[in-house]
Amino acid sequence: MGDGKFLLDLIGPFRLRAPGGGRINIASRKGQALLAMLAVAGNGERTRSWLQGQLWGSRAPDQAQASLRSEVSTLRTLINSGGDAVLHADKNRIWIDLARMTVDARDADQSTGGHSFLEGLDIPEEEAFEEWLRDERARLKARQDMAGVQAAAAAPTTPVANFTALAALAVLPFANLTGDPAQNFLAEGISEDLIDRLARLRWMPIIARGSSFAFREPDPDPRLVGRALGARYVVEGRLRRQGRDQFLSAALADSESGQSLWSTKMAVRDAGSSELLEDLLTNLTAALGGQIDQHEQVRALRKPQSDLNVRDLIWRGRWHANRMTREDAAAARACFDAALAQEPKSPEAIIQSVWAHVWDIWARRGTEAEILEVRQRAQKAIIADCDDARGHMLAGIAEIWLHQPLRAEALLRRAIDLNPSLAMAHAQLGASLRVRDENAAAVASLRAAIRLSPNDHDMFFIAGELAASLLMLGDHDAALVEADHAIARRRGYWFPYVIKVNALVRLGRIAEARQALAELHEIKADFRPAFIRWSPFADPKNIRFLEDGLNQAAG
């Protein structure tokens, strides 16, 4: 002890030794707790009112004040008797001189040796202290876990097994920056629930909470997190207060480059509302999934053909599929077939292959035999991974086309149960409800899809379905807006032109309807009213309604 410092051990049983090495016996449990609370404080200082509330909260204020004065007096007698004062107090504060004391719990490199913080020290009658003690023990454990993770990251080890070729994602514990400790549970609860939601996407591995929550330090380096956990992407978030409102900000980073890829800010207006938090998590999950999907497509597109693995083939296939040209559709199917040839039982390869066939049949208005084949393939996708919402969604689409809307609705609702953030499942549910003439419910589902994925590459389809439902509800102006939205997103899509022509006819704007019909024939030279009959309306009157509008515009 030649450095002239006191030595305070808080990891394991409480122990205090003087600079000369002699043990200082603090018999009072609250005296031990008081010194520990000062020793781990940022500057070694606490207010009297805070200490009173933590250690004597069960007593009346005047009794708590007297008890604190007595305890501080006893401690000063024991600690300060050897010379310069170490424990200080004034009217409002109590503090210790940290320069005169070595505290093991403040040393980031100090090993716990399997011991807990203030082992064996409990004051059951003081709930505030017990809560503080639990928090400190959790903080110490998290710090030690992170130290181990950082050491592993610095070591020249091989990447985490099984994640080498996958776009794994780590969600770090969201930070509470509101200044209100009571919001800690909300910030951490959101990040925990987000992990659960993202795991439902199925196509992307999610790092378990026990590993990612070791990174509790402010502003962690995503490159360090990525190397330690085998994660290609890292999500962090912060809960802040602005005036009376609370906001959650979240950011997505590439762990290989450290580059920030995307960020958002969402209002948390009523933290006590499970419904509002449900919407927040659903929207955040959909946004993160969409962003990672886009980045993985671009990443795979840049890789040399000779370096492509199964996942790369799938991502490259998705890129081609989203272009929606005949050439790209053929390239997409070739990618998915190659992926299936390498891994015939890969749920992701099966799902993407079925999805490509679905779009091909839809674009060509395929035969019943082709639709039955898609149904069979979708059922194989469900068997490959029964928890993947997309397999149920694809089976539901086949049932819509086979004029089985009730079966379709059951499958699509199951898909939404499995993954509430799957925008296309909501859109297809809307389509299923539309063909059953339940247009108000269809509008709600289609608007949910738009909210989840406002920039979806399939927005032309979603907007077209919404336009059709609004038309059938008699809201012709709104139908016209959504039809134009669909056309703007994909000019070659004939269905929204049919809705636009009908909306203009019902509004009495015949000249504009004729112009829209001429545009339809221009972009789709082979268009015939018979195309409409492929749409599986449950009631034929709806087909006659649309054909009548076209006839009025043509006449």
3-state SS, 296-364, equals: HHHHHHHCCHHHCCHHHHHHHHHHHHHHCCHHHHHHHHHHHHHHHHHCCCCHHHHHHHHHHHHHHHHHH
What pLDDT, on the 0 to 100 scale, is given for residue 164? 41
Nearest to 28 by CA among 69, 91, 66, 75: 75
What pLDDT, on the 0 to 100 scale, is given for residue 210? 83
State the pLDDT confidence band at 111, using cuts at 50, 70 and 90.
low
535-550 confidence digits (pLDDT tens): 899 899 999 999 999 9
- Is 150's pLDDT higher than 60? no
- What angle, 0 to 180 degrees and rounded to 10, lies between the N-to-C axes of helices 347-364 and 368-384? 160
State the pLDDT confidence band at 285, using cuts at 50, 70 and 90.
very high
State the pLDDT confidence band at 160, using cuts at 50, 70 and 90.
very low
Do residues 179 and 109 make contact, with C-beta atoms less than 8 angstroms apart?
Answer: no
- Domains, the chain, ordered by start: 6-139 (1.10.10.10), 169-300 (3.40.50.10070), 304-420 (1.25.40.10), 454-555 (1.25.40.10)
How far apart CA 15 and CA 36 sit, in angstroms, is 10
pLDDT > 90 fraction of the chain, expressed in percent and rounded: 61
The residue-averaged pLDDT of 195-214 equals: 90
- For tokens 């080890």, what's the residue? 157
- C-alpha of 138 from chain center: 24
Element (H, E) at 264: strand 260-267
State the pLDDT confidence band at 155, using cuts at 50, 70 and 90.
very low
The residue-averaged pLDDT of 409-435 equals: 96
State the pLDDT confidence band at 281, using cuts at 50, 70 and 90.
very high
More confident residue, 93 or 134: 93
| Least confident stretch, 128-132, 159-163, 231-235, 544-548 | 159-163
Measure the CA dihedral 373/328/468/427, to 10°.
70
State the pLDDT confidence band at 83, using cuts at 50, 70 and 90.
low
416-426 confidence digits (pLDDT tens): 999 999 999 99
- Is 163's pLDDT higher than 50? no
- Is 149's pLDDT higher than 60? no
- Token pair for 151: 């050491």
Do residues 460 and 497 make contact, with C-beta atoms less than 8 angstroms apart?
Answer: no
